[in-house]
Chains A and B, each alone.
Chain A
Amino acid sequence: TQLLEQSPQFLSIQEGENLTVYCNSSSVFSSLQWYRQEPGEGPVLLVTVVTGGEVKKLKRLTFQFGDARKDSSLHITAAQPGDTGLYLCAGAQAAGNKLTFGGGTRVLVKP
């Protein structure tokens, strides 16, 4: 059983549609991060959330950290083909600790 569960595992949508990816756990995290990974490359950090209830926006991407710091969501508005990739959430259970990664959500945005 993974410490961080991501859902869905795979999402295929048309350009212009919205999508939401979820990251859930029964454990509390001091911080949670979202990464995007493109084929053949390493993951790249999108955002870090540290405060329960925190919402961060990055252009068309909106990230939310749950009030209890056990879950997070990533919402993409008007998805574009360039949003295609593997989205990974990762949590640290204490400041400076190593990260635990979720299983990832593969997003495919078709033109």
Chain B
Amino acid sequence: EADIYQTPRYLVIGTGKKITLECSQTMGHDKMYWYQQDPGMELHLIHYSYGVNSTEKGDLSSESTVSRIRTEHFPLTLESARPSHTSQYLCASSPRWTETQYFGPGTRLLVL
């Protein structure tokens, strides 16, 4: 059982609001990832980090930003939410020596 947590699990918010989605893991994994996924559809990588103070943009362009100040914490921020941001956001982590990713339960975001 992977120890990776995401909060909130569900969020309904109005257009223009700033939001931060939290992701924490207690496994000491160096690598962390954020994916965007519409229900039942493919995962799109939007950000990743290979360690503290290291962040990279993923394959899908996103208006969100991330930070990695501590190994265990990888929050994602939307400065001004829009209805097009409505989706599920999945966080994952991975040890340095493997590609296996351990996923959190996801945050389902609805922007009205």
Interface size band for A? 20 to 34
Q: What secondary structure prevails in chain A residues at the interface with B?
A: loop
Interface 9-residue window, one of B12-20, B68-76, B101-109? B101-109
Q: When each residue 68-111 of chain A gets 1 if its CB lies under 8 Å from chain B and 0 otherwise, what string results?
A: 00000000000000000010101010011111011110100000
B interface, by DSSP: helix, strand, loop or mixed? loop
Interface size counted on chain B using CB atoms at 8 A: 23
Flag if B99 contacts A101 (CB, 8 Å): no
Whether B99 and A92, one on each chain, are in contact in the complex, defined by CB atoms closer than 8 angstroms, is: yes
Q: For B100, what are the chain A residues with a Cβ–Cβ distance below 8 Å?
A: 33, 45, 48
The one of B33, B40, B103 in contact with A98, judged by C-beta atoms closer than 8 angstroms, is B33
Contact residues in B for A33 (Cβ distance below 8 Å): 99-100
Q: Determine whether A52 belongs to the interface, using a CB cutoff of 8 Å to chain B.
A: no
Q: Are B99 and A42 in contact (CB under 8 A)?
A: no
Q: Are A41 and B105 in contact (CB under 8 A)?
A: yes
Q: List 6 A-B contacts (CB under 8 A).
A: A42-B105, A44-B103, A48-B99, A48-B100, A86-B40, A98-B33
